[in-house]
Chains A and B, each alone.
Chain A
């Protein structure tokens, strides 16, 4: 089996950009949990890391918005944000174009997706990479699900995207790690930023850990917007991991609200 690791984590820009303003009693264990992911990914022997993200208009706009996109570049650059604002230096990230092409070709059998040889990474990928591959020495395959510009990718299709990615991973000899990164409830970049619906988040994470497909696909955008804010739409990235690991349960290693990071900060792994 080529899939050697699957997990989820948060990606809010405050996680690095406003680190000094967080309660260290919450921040430090969160950082430690993120570092645990790094250790696990390295220990897995992964040769490439697929990051399923919810980018925030870094590459895709409403003039041509794909429901799904997967990178096929030799290299990528990021962050697009001011490095001093995000507190992550601008850098070049290696890609895996030939592996990407094989994965994309297989996924296209069941999922309509766009591919991109150019990709600028925003905080949605750079914040996780800052912790997971801090030397930027692991080939990355970025993937995106439209969680920002309605009409959004249906949740059921995000789950199917994960299933297709699993089939693609299993069709190649390389060892592949996959991370899904998105917020749960949050109202990012608004006057409400810092508001978190902890009960909603824990209910979602309970369904995620159980990999309960029926519950995960029962969410709808109207309820999510009301209960979990615009940021709640990003559960698509986490539910894609559920599809990737269908039939397997997961473990939530860390889940605590950190308001200055604008979201419930989460680290979870699938027990593959």
Chain B
């Protein structure tokens, strides 16, 4: 997991319309600009918020990616919970879940 570069791509995506355009129209070229693993490219291509979350993408970056790919708030929370159910605790970063993930879309 090159967490740093996944987050850097999403950071640029969240703040730059031209990057958003590239994401929608030529994602491979966009991803070629970052040191990503094959798995990470798949997670980004599939909009797999659960995988990105449990691998440590900062929630402040991830929630905007979720909105960008059309997930509403409840769907975003559920996608992270699904990731936790399938893969267990967050591996890296400071956005680890507590209380088993209690809370959420309330």
Which residues of A are interface residues toward B (Cβ below 8 A)? 14, 17-18, 56-59, 61-63, 80-82, 85, 120, 148-150, 187-195, 225, 229-230, 259-260
Contacts and interface: CB of A to CB of B under 8 A. Distances in A.
Contact of B4 (A17, A62, A150, A191): A62
Interface stretch (B25-33, B35-43, B98-106): B98-106
Contact of A230 (B8, B94, B102): B94
Contact of A192 (B4, B68, B102): B102
A61 B14 CA distance: 12
Contact of A189 (B8, B14, B60, B102): B60
A148 B59 CA distance: 10
A191 B84 contact: yes
B1 interface: no
In this complex, which of B8, B14, B53 has the most chain A Cβ atoms within 10 angstroms of its Cβ?
A: B14
A105 to B, nearest CB: 28
A226 to B, nearest CB: 9
In this complex, which of B64, B68, B84, B101 has the most chain A Cβ atoms within 10 angstroms of its Cβ?
A: B64
Q: In the complex, which range does the number of interface residues on chain B fall in?
A: 20 to 34
8 contacts: A58-B14, A61-B7, A62-B7, A187-B103, A189-B59, A191-B81, A192-B97, A229-B98
A57 B14 contact: yes
Given A85-B67, A225-B94, A188 B59 contact: yes
Nearest to A84: B67
Contacts of B81: 191
In this complex, which of A120, A189, A229 has the most chain B Cβ atoms within 10 angstroms of its Cβ?
A: A189
Given A57-B60, A82-B67, A192 B98 contact: yes
Nearest to A60: B11
Contacts, number: 86
A190 B11 contact: no
B24 interface: no
In this complex, which of B4, B73, B99 has the most chain A Cβ atoms within 10 angstroms of its Cβ?
A: B73
B15 A190 contact: no
Given A148-B60, A191-B81, 17 more contacts: A14-B73, A57-B14, A59-B15, A62-B4, A80-B15, A80-B64, A148-B58, A188-B59, A189-B60, A190-B95, A191-B97, A191-B103, A192-B99, A192-B103, A225-B94, A229-B98, A230-B59
B63 interface: yes
Interface string B68-106: 100001000100110010000000001101110111111
A260 B103 CA distance: 10
A193 B81 CA distance: 11
B61 interface: yes
Contact of A57 (B61, B77, B80): B61
B65 to A, nearest CB: 11
